[in-house]
Amino acid sequence: MLRLEKRPSPSRFWLYATPPVAVLLTMVVGGILFATMGKNPFEVIRTIFWDPVFGEFAFYLRGQLLVKAGPLILIAIGLALGFRAGIWNIGAEGQYIMGAIFGASVGLAVFPTESRLIFPVMVVAGAFGGWVWAMIPAILKTRFNTNEILVSLMLVYVAETILAKASTGFLKNPEGMGFPGSRNFSSYPAAANPELIAGSGLHWGGVAALVTGVLAYILLTRHQAGFQIKLAGQAPRAARFHGVSPTRLVVMCMGISGALAGLAGLFEVTGPAGQISIDFNTGYGFTAIIVAFLGRLNPLGIVLAGFLMALTYVGGEMASTNLGLPDAAIQVFQGMLLFFLLAVDVLTNYRFRLAVGAH
């Protein structure tokens, strides 16, 4: 009979080995799932994980990788800061939508003025929109002790209602012949977020994601605030004695994650999505939760995890068009990855021992 025994200190090996092991387990079980759906599992796994990087159309798909990874990394880094401190912002999807709406509103308000200042102001407005949306659960938590998980999640549904109203009402393209959706930013150069190097898929969102990764790493490892975040997560009592203010921590972590999610939304809506539409958001805010855990809540790990998750998106689309794999299968695949990650993670703090005789 196997039994768990707590390790005296967390295993460094398993800390780094958990994500690859979880990915492998997901590939095996996912392969079985694909096989039961009547697909060749090896072909599907190759299409998802190999073809986008090294396959025939890799020259195009590699760019797509960066397009998908950018928002995921940007959102996940913000979430990870909070998760580390035990502050659970689950509503990044709503903050992402509100960032996009705020930023796009600024751009559309001054249409068709041409000025270099417009895009930077939109970026600030986008971050502000996400920040405001995250401040609602943050302030309710600090003032009224309200559960931030539930409030931030409820606000996703509220944001989706506002988005529907924005694309059919107050941000609707007046020259759109009655179709829902705002003006397209690709035809408005001052507010657009184009590819910076042709074919690379890199737009300002990707730049922001990589810069944020480095900044967040410095914050966590070299800065007082990062120390406080880690302390509050690992030893709340010690953090109180150290003089860490829970209120400030909640406001800071929620604020940063909200602003980053808002930024991601703005870059998406001005770049790859092109316009505010009812369904421009594709669940990045929720997938980013998986990315944050896959990256071990470590900013540099999250950058890697973001690319891996982007691979499942891009490869999943390939598998959907070439092999007829349903889109939902990829969603199941991603959810499974988080399960395996959480299960394998037990080995970081515990080890299995063969118990001789019943205890």
Partner 1 sequence: MDFGGINPIILIATLMASAVPILLAALGETVVERSGVLNLGVEGMMIIGALGGFVVAVATGSPFLGFVGGAVAGAALSLIFALLTQVFLANQVATGLALTLFGLGVSSLGGQGYNGIKPPRTGPLLPDALADLPVVGPILFGHDWVVYFSIAMTAVLWWVLKASRVGLIIRAVGESHEAAHALGYKVNRIRLMCIAFGGAMAGMGGAYVSLARVPQWVDGITNGQGWIALAIVVFASWRPWRVMIGAYLFGGITVLQLNLQAAGSQFPVWLLPTLALLALAGDIILREINGKNYSDLRKVFYFFATVNALQLLYLSWGKWIPMPVDYLSMSPYLITILVLVIMSAGRRGTANGAPASLGQNFHASR
For position 6 contacting partner 1 by CB under 8 A, the verdict is yes
DSSP 167: I
For position 4 contacting partner 1 by CB under 8 A, the verdict is yes
Q: What are the tokens at 153? A: 């999640």
Query: Interaction with partner 1 in 42-71: which residues (CB under 8 A)?
Result: none
Q: Which of 32, 189, 326, 353 binds partner 1 (CB under 8 A)?
A: 326
For position 215 contacting partner 1 by CB under 8 A, the verdict is no
- Crossing angle of the two packed helices 58-84 and 299-323, in degrees rounded to 10: 140
For position 235 contacting partner 1 by CB under 8 A, the verdict is no
Q: Please, is 255 exposed, middle or buried when counting C-beta atoms within 10 Å of its C-beta (0-12, 13-18, 19+)?
A: buried
- The span of 38-46, 158-166, 231-239, 250-258 binding partner 1 (CB under 8 A) equals 158-166
For position 121 contacting partner 1 by CB under 8 A, the verdict is no
For position 331 contacting partner 1 by CB under 8 A, the verdict is yes
Nearer to partner 1 by Cβ, of 232 and 290: the residue is 290
For position 157 contacting partner 1 by CB under 8 A, the verdict is yes
Helix (H, G, I), strand (E, B) or coil at 147: coil
CA angle at residue 212 from 14 to 93, to 5 degrees? 85
Can you tell me the distance from the alpha carbon of 165 to that of 163, in angstroms, rounded to the nearest whole number?
Answer: 5
Can you tell me the distance from the alpha carbon of 309 to that of 88, in angstroms, rounded to the nearest whole number?
Answer: 21
Q: What are the tokens at 198? A: 């042709």
- The span of 99-107, 181-189, 227-235, 285-293 binding partner 1 (CB under 8 A) equals 285-293
- The span of 20-28, 189-197, 227-235, 333-341 binding partner 1 (CB under 8 A) equals 333-341
How many residues bind partner 1, per CB under 8 A? 47
Q: Which of 25, 124, 149, 225 binds partner 1 (CB under 8 A)?
A: 149
For position 132 contacting partner 1 by CB under 8 A, the verdict is no
Backbone angles phi, psi at 192, to 5 degrees: -85, 160
Q: For the CA atoms of the chain, what is the radius of gyration?
A: 22
For position 230 contacting partner 1 by CB under 8 A, the verdict is no
Nearer to partner 1 by Cβ, of 8 and 197: the residue is 8
Q: Which residues contact 271 (CB under 8 A, 6 or more apart)?
A: 67, 185, 192, 193, 194, 195, 203, 204, 205
For position 286 contacting partner 1 by CB under 8 A, the verdict is yes
For position 140 contacting partner 1 by CB under 8 A, the verdict is yes
Q: Which of 56, 50, 93, 17 is nearest to 308 (CA)?
A: 50
- In the chain, % helix, strand, coil (3-state, to 5) comes to 70, 5, 25
Do the Cβ atoms of 130 and 95 come closer than 8 Å?
yes
Q: Rule CB under 8 A: which residues touch partner 1?
A: 4, 6, 83, 88, 90, 136, 140, 143-147, 149-151, 153-155, 157-158, 161-162, 164-165, 169, 286, 289-290, 293, 326, 328-336, 338-339, 342-343, 345-346, 349-350
